[in-house]
A = this chain, B = another copy of it.
Amino acid sequence: MLASPVYLTTALVTILAIVFYFFTGMKVGSMRVKHNVKAPATTGAPEFERAFRVQMNTLEHIPIVIPLLWLTVVYFSLWPWAAPLLGVVWVIGRAMYMNAYLKDPEKRGPGFGVASLAELLLLILALIGIVNAFVFAA
C-alpha cells in the first residue's frame, strides 16, 4: 500500500509542503539579518514582520494539512489521487499568499483562499471516506 504510486506521490507532496515551509523560515532568518532584528525580538522592520507572519501562518496550517492529506489518501478510496492533487494546490496557494503578503499584507486574500479551499476539500473528502467506511463496516 505505502509503495503504491498514489502513496508515493502523497509522500512527495508532504516533502514539498515541508520544503516550502523551510523556505518561509529561511526568509525570516534573512530578514532578521537584513534588518538587524536581534533574537528574541519578533517585531521591527515591516518587511521582517511580514516574513515572520507568513512563516507563522504557514506554521498554523502545516500540522493540519499533513494529517488531512494522509487521512484523505487512506480513507477516500473512491479517488485517492485527490489527496496529492489538493496538496499541490495547497502549496501553490501558500506560495501565492507568501508573494502577495511580502509586497502588501492587504493583498493576501486570493492565495489564502486557494490554500484554505484545498484544506477544506481535503477535510470534506476525508470525512466522506471515513463515514463511508463506517457504513460499509456496519
Contacts and interface: CB of A to CB of B under 8 A. Distances in A.
Contacts of A71: 11, 14-15
A136 B133 CA distance: 31
Interface string A12-31: 10110011011001000000
Interface residues of chain A: helix, strand, loop or mixed (majority): helix
B3 A133 contact: yes
Contact of A62 (B14, B64, B106, B108): B64
A88 to B, nearest CB: 15
Of A12, A19, A105, A137, most B-chain CB atoms within 10 Å:
A12
Contacts of A42: 53
A41 to B, nearest CB: 8
